[in-house]
Amino acid sequence: MTTTAEEVLYGGAAGGGKSYALRAILVNYCLTHPGATVVLFRRTYRELEDTHILRLQLELPSYIAKYKSTSHYFVFDNGSVLMMRFCEAEDDVRTYDTFEADAMAFDELTAFTQFQYTYLITRCRSTKPWWPGPRIWSATNPGNVGHEWVKNRWDTIAEVHPIMSIHTASVDEGGMQRQFIAAKVTDNATLMKYDPNYVHRLAGLPEEEKQAKLFGRWDIFSGQFFQRWRSTVHICHSFDIPREWTRYIFVDWGLAAPHAVYWAARPPMTNSIWLYREQYGAGIPTRQQARMAAEKVKVSEEKIEFIVTDPAMWAKERDADGDYMKSPADYWREEFAGMTEVIKGNNERLAGASLFREMLDWQGVELPSGLEVIVPPRLRVMRDSCPNFVRTVPSLIHAKTNVEDVDTTGEDHSYDAVRYGLRALFEPPKKPKAARYFETSGGLVRRAA
């Protein structure tokens, strides 16, 4: 509560009192600055209600603040307002385009994608004369869909930096002062007094969960979908692709959410792929997405074998008069006319996830000398030119409803784009089903089963 940093993360072990701390900080802000507008975010409304709304109604005396159930506000006697908000889907950030708040808090920050967080914090702004500047507090345990980006943004090494010094981010990263404060279960004196055995229950968790929940370690990632991912194995420095390698483009479409485009190269006579260029961004019109990609190809004078696109791009919509408009795929075909073919990708999710895993798999072979030789994976990526792939794919987690699939609430755009491409390159096309009838001189005859 006393830090002067503008962007604060209190994270680590379970039981440290993180959610309570966020409520206390926001209530204190409202009482200190009459007329303040502050907001507390969680990913879903149910989590917001269970964790904060019910608790605040018990913790805040009615003569200090009253809860307005229709608007989910706590209105303070001095005119301050504490808003309770959620942002479940990535596209939901657009509903906050005209929103303003003097201060913000995010509970369980790793449940949010980086896109959601970085977009929403731009709404922390004010023209009030007393405003001390942006204040954004977050709390979280390690893990979940946002584990990797949160770890990287705050450099969360709890066992090395119990309380990190304040550092200023670059302009490209927001330019605010950041501080990471490690949470430990033993910080919660009240819990230790009334439930000292809670530590034992945390110690009984599976190893990865225990390391995260008991010790607050960020280098252990429970629930990671691609557990074979290793930066030292899958990532390489940029190099010039030889002209004889075959080149492709893979596309995942997005408007409010980011779109993702990847250039891939395949060495002759191999089943391996190198990702060497990326186009990534939100809020870009479909034709502009295609034109940007086409211009890159023209400048580099590349020969693209074909472009594999998101199946959702092939649906045509009707306009107000009932006539069909162009589909997103139509824009890509127009921009790449005369250069290459645009084909529809396959969205069979489980088969795509299985192939993606197979492409990332690698082996370490120990030699008699004791040295280990790596048998490389079939999919590798250039770090410098594909930063969003490197950032998002390792952080994907298992879907809650199907452990064989990726959780689609994560930032899965890079994964989807490459998944479509890998299916097109390495999955044999399905044999067409035999017709139920065939034609003879005597007419149509039903084919035997």
pLDDT tens across 44-96, in order?
Answer: 999 999 999 999 999 999 999 999 999 999 999 999 999 999 999 888 999 99
Q: Which of 49-53, 152-156, 171-175, 272-276 has the highest mean pLDDT?
A: 272-276
3 state SS of 362: coil
Tokens matching residue 125: 């702004």
For position 63, what pLDDT does the model report?
92
pLDDT at 84: 96
pLDDT tens-digit map of 357-404: 999 998 876 666 666 667 889 999 998 899 999 988 988 888 888 889
**How much is the average pLDDT of 241-249?**
96
DSSP H helices in 69-197: 114-120, 147-154, 189-194
* Residue 105 parent element (H or E): strand 103-107
User: Percent of the chain having pLDDT more than 90?
Assistant: 60
The candidate with the shortest Cα–Cα distance to 233, out of 117, 375, 339, is 375
Q: What is the DSSP string of 134-153?
A: -EEEEEE-S-STTHHHHHHH
Note the pLDDT tens digit of each residue in 86-128.
999 888 999 999 999 999 999 999 999 999 999 999 999 999 9
pLDDT at residue number 161: 46
| Helix intervals (H) in 265-412 | 286-300, 328-335, 349-360, 387-392
- Residue 313 to residues 1, 140, 251, 253: CA-CA distances in angstroms? 48, 36, 10, 7
Sheet of strand 135-140, all strands in order from the earlier edge strand to the far edge: 65-68, 73-76, 81-86, 37-42, 103-107, 135-140, 7-12, 177-183, 167-168
Domain ranges of the chain: 7-213, 231-426
Could you please state the CATH topology (level 3) that the domain comprising 231-426 is classified under. Nucleotidyltransferase; domain 5 (3.30.420)
| Residue in the block written with tokens 């074979």 | 228
Q: How many distinct helices (H) and strands (E) make up the chain?
A: 14, 20
- Quick one: pLDDT at residue 234? 92
Beta bridge partners of 42: 86
CB 448 within 8 A of CB 277: no
- Give SS3 for 351: helix
State the pLDDT at residue 119. 94
Task: Tell how strand 341-344 and strand 363-366 pair up.
Answer: unpaired
**Whether the predicted pLDDT of 341 surpasses 90:** yes
Return the percentage of the chain with pLDDT > 70, whole number: 88
Can you give 255-304 as a three-state secondary structure string? CCCCEEEEEEEECCCCCCEEEEEEEEECCCCHHHHHHHHHHHHHHHCCCE
- Residue 235 pLDDT exceeds 80: yes
Phi-psi region of 135 (alpha: psi -120 to 50; beta: other; left: phi over 0): beta
How far from 311 is each of 251, 315, 334, CA to CA, in Å? 10, 8, 17
Sheet of strand 379-382: strand arrangement: 235-236, 379-382, 273-281, 259-266, 246-252, 304-309, 341-344
- How far apart (Å, rounded) are the C-alpha atoms in residues 106 and 19? 9
Confidence class for position 446, pLDDT limits 50, 70, 90? low
Determine the angle formed by the axes of helices 349-360 and 413-426, rounding to 10 degrees.
90
Tell whether the model's pLDDT for residue 165 goes beyond 60.
yes
DSSP letter assigned to residue 430 = P
Q: What mean pLDDT is reported for the chain?
A: 87
pLDDT of residue 432: 53
Q: Could you give the CA distance from residue 302 to residue 299 in angstroms, rounded to a whole number?
A: 8
Distance between CA atoms of residues 175 and 118, nearest Å:
12
Residues 6+ apart with CB under 8 A from 191: 15, 17, 185, 198
The first and second tokens of residue 236, run together, are 């390489």
- The pLDDT score that the predictor gives to residue 160 is 44
The gap from C-alpha 346 to its chain's centroid, in whole angstroms, comes to 22
Mean of pLDDT values over 189-196: 88
Distance in angstroms between the alpha carbons of the first and the last residue of the chain: 74
Nearest alpha carbon to residue 267 among 342, 376, 357, 374: 376
Q: Which amino acid is at 78?
A: N
Residue 264 near residue 251, CB atoms below 8 Å: no
- Residue type at 165? S
Residue 229 banded pLDDT, cuts 50, 70, 90 = confident
CB atoms within 10 A of CB 71: 10
Residue 136 has pLDDT above 90, yes or no: yes
Which superfamily is assigned to 7-213 in CATH? Answer: P-loop containing nucleotide triphosphate hydrolases (3.40.50.300)
The SS3 assignment for 21 reads helix
- Which one of 170-174, 198-202, 224-228, 382-386 scores highest in mean pLDDT? 382-386
